[in-house]
Amino acid sequence: MSGSAGGEGGSQENRRGYQLRAIAAAVEKLLRESYTAGILSVERSAFSPLPARFSIRYRGLEVFENSEFILGLHELRQQVPEKLRISQQLDDAQSKIGYKMALAFLSPNLIYDQAETQTRMEEAVALVPLAKDQVLAGERIIDGHERITREHIEKLNSYAAAKTERGEGKGLISRLLHGLGQWGNSLFILSILLFFLWQGRGEIANAPKQLLLIALIVLLPAGLTFLVTQLNLSPLLIPVAAGAMIITIFFDVYVGLLYAISVSLLVGAMRGNEFGIAYISIFVSAMAILSVSRVRTRNWVLRSMGVVMAAYLLSITVHDLLNYQSFQEILRDWGLGFINGFISPIIAYALVLLLERTFHLTTDMTLLELSDLNHPLLRQLALQAPGTYHHSLSVGNLAETAAEAIGANALLARVGAYYHDIGKLEKPEYFVENQMRGRNPQEKLTPTMSSLILQNHVRRGAEMAAQYHLPPAVSAFIEEHHGTSLMHYFYQKAVEQKGEGAVPQDEFRYPGPRPSIRESAIVMLADAVEATSRTLRDPSYSRIKNIVDQIIDERFKSGELDNSPLTLQDLARISEAFQKTLNARFHRRIPYPNQNTDDEGE
């Protein structure tokens, strides 16, 4: 029994010894194959892109080997278990033993010489010819009506680059003249902006603060163009559309489009007359301008993002196809356009908030906030002077409709109308719209004292506007909505008491100034029309028309509209808008059966 057991033990040891020898043989074979192929001292991921062949020097000889079979030490260690299982036909347990054995003997036998590799790369680049074709002197590159090919474009670009290189190689005077030409080109482009600004928006051209704002927004893309050029980045990252949106928000579409064209040409000139980017910037900026031409909600940022991205997608596609760009290059440019389309509205929004406070200008975003009827001043007006509050809302509706009719800023006109009479909060009971049950404190006062109270509501309104930090564009409505018009009722009453020669008209005029913009002139007319329309007992179409035309004619003849840019055509459209709104307000109702008289009058 004991002899048999010893025999079995020896047999197991023999089998184990055989398996170890088999594993050792498999490992030895794997190591020979690995060292024969070569083990790199660095990982293959260090090469980008991976070369097709490696140059191997050994004892003065140099050979080239396929890089597919040469692995780095870390990559080879990861592949050892799989190689032992498949190529050496070992099971999992044997592969684990073989793996531990192989790790003890694996080490790099190919040492990467980075310095020599870099030197050879530079030598190879130097040997690449700069020209792949030649154009002889006097040779025609392209003829008229000939189809343009990629070869033509390459020759023309090469010709432009050669001319630039030859110019840079000339003397100091030649380089100075070239630089002078570049400055002259930039000044010529900017002079277009100033000329058309002066012709179309003289009030902006004559306002140093607004000109300074435009200059700063011009410097933004100009500075970024210089930076992008120095860093050798794509010009598609220059946010020209952001500046166009800022200018449009602060001013209008005309000024925004003028800015977009001028700055896009300036960017193209600064890029070495690379006007492809100029055309892209003009188209994208024009679409961006349209997206912010009427800001009425805060989500304009998201809307502008979508519009600008879509504009870049379209313009880049057309531009790159015309220039025979590959699909990979088009995809790259799309990505850059999407980045620009994403950041441009964000830049515009941030700078508008900053510049609005710095330059004390009013944008539609601020006006939207002021149009909230829960504003403290409007809430106070509703509670203490409800008649004036409803009068202001009615004037706002009239002014907004009229402003839209002539293409003025309807939002500014409406907001200005909301706040034009806030000065009446000091003595609301002295104004007829707030008087209840026929009690009028003015009856106990002299005409001169009554005129002082009316004048004071303008001055007090301006003080309250400053106290509540209303922007200058809105507080101007408070001071200008009466202009220097005469208080006819109290003036006539004073004349009846003292005689015509004893009463100077200046004592019965509002302090002014007269309206200086279209919107404040509209509010002046709307204020008078709304107040007068409430006195009509039978507001028929003809009576409403007569009152509206009479008030507008009186303000025009008295010179109250002389400082405003309103034209006769504008006045005609304003009259039509007023009549339409008032006729809708005073429309007749159809009497219903079994309805009493009181109900019919409501």
Element holding 475 (H helix, E strand):
helix 472-480
Stretch among 126-130, 142-146, 382-386, 595-599 having the lowest mean pLDDT: 595-599
Average pLDDT of the chain is 86
Range in 14-28, 215-229, 230-244 the model is least confident about: 14-28
Q: Residues 164-168: what's their mean pLDDT?
A: 59
> Does 575 have pLDDT greater than 50?
yes
- pLDDT at 553 exceeding the cut of 60: yes
What proportions of the chain, in percent to the nearest 5, are helix, strand and coil? 70, 5, 25
**How many residues belong to the chain?**
602
Q: How far is CA 393 from CA 270, 382, 388, 580, in A?
A: 52, 10, 9, 17
- Choice between 436 and 484, residue whose per-residue pLDDT is larger: 484
Angular region, 3: left φ>0, alpha ψ -120 to 50, beta rest = alpha
The number of C-alpha atoms within 13 Å of 31 and in the hemisphere containing its C-beta is 17
* Residue 595 confidence (pLDDT) above 70: no
Question: Quick one: pLDDT band at residue 87, thresholds 50, 70, 90?
Answer: low
Lowest mean pLDDT among 139-153, 203-217, 228-242: 139-153
- Helices 386-406/568-585 angle, 10° precision: 130
**Rounded average pLDDT over 154-179:** 68
pLDDT at 113 over 50: yes
Most confident of 38-52, 101-115, 228-242: 228-242
Looking at residue 365, its pLDDT comes to 86
586, pLDDT greater than 90: no
259 pLDDT band (50/70/90 cuts)?
very high
Which residue in 503, 382, 395, 501 sits closest to 451, CA to CA? 503
Average pLDDT over residues 502-525: 92
Give the pLDDT of residue 443.
80
- At 284 the pLDDT is 96
| Average pLDDT, integer, range 142-159 | 76
Whether residue 167 is predicted with pLDDT greater than 80 in this model: the reply is: no
User: Measuring CA to CA, which residue among 398, 425, 422, 399 is closest to residue 412?
Assistant: 399
For residue 131, name the pLDDT band (cuts at 50, 70, 90). Answer: low
DSSP state of 144: T
Residue 433 predicted with pLDDT over 50: yes
171: pLDDT confidence band, cut at 50, 70 and 90?
low
pLDDT tops 80 at residue 602 = no
Indicate the fold that domain 372-599 takes in CATH.
Hypothetical protein af1432 (1.10.3210)
Highest mean pLDDT among 149-158, 159-168, 245-254: 245-254
Res. 472: pLDDT tops 80: yes
Question: For residue 158, how far is the Cα from the chain centroid?
Answer: 36
Q: What DSSP state is assigned to residue 50?
A: P
C-alpha to C-alpha distance for 163 and 10, rounded to whole angstroms: 91
DSSP-based three-state secondary structure for 299: coil
65 close to 38: Cβ distance less than 8 angstroms:
yes
pLDDT of residue 9: 56
Q: What would the pLDDT profile of 312-368 be if each residue is shown by its tens digit? A: 999 999 999 988 888 999 999 999 999 999 999 999 999 999 998 888 888 888 999
How confident is residue 161, by pLDDT bands cut at 50, 70 and 90?
Answer: low
pLDDT at 170: 57
Q: Which two tokens stand for residue 80?
A: 């050892």
For residue 597, the model assigns a pLDDT of: 42
**What is the band of 163 on the pLDDT scale with cuts at 50, 70, 90?**
low
pLDDT above 60 for 192: yes
Domain boundaries, the chain: 14-116, 184-361, 372-599
184-361 carries CATH number 1.10.1760: yes
Cα-based distances in Å from 177 to 172, 173, 174, 229, 272: 9, 6, 5, 21, 15
CA distance 262 to 190: 6
Query: C-alpha angle 450/451/454, rounded to 5°?
Result: 90
- For the ranges 87-91, 271-275, 580-584, the maximum mean pLDDT occurs at 580-584
DSSP 55: E
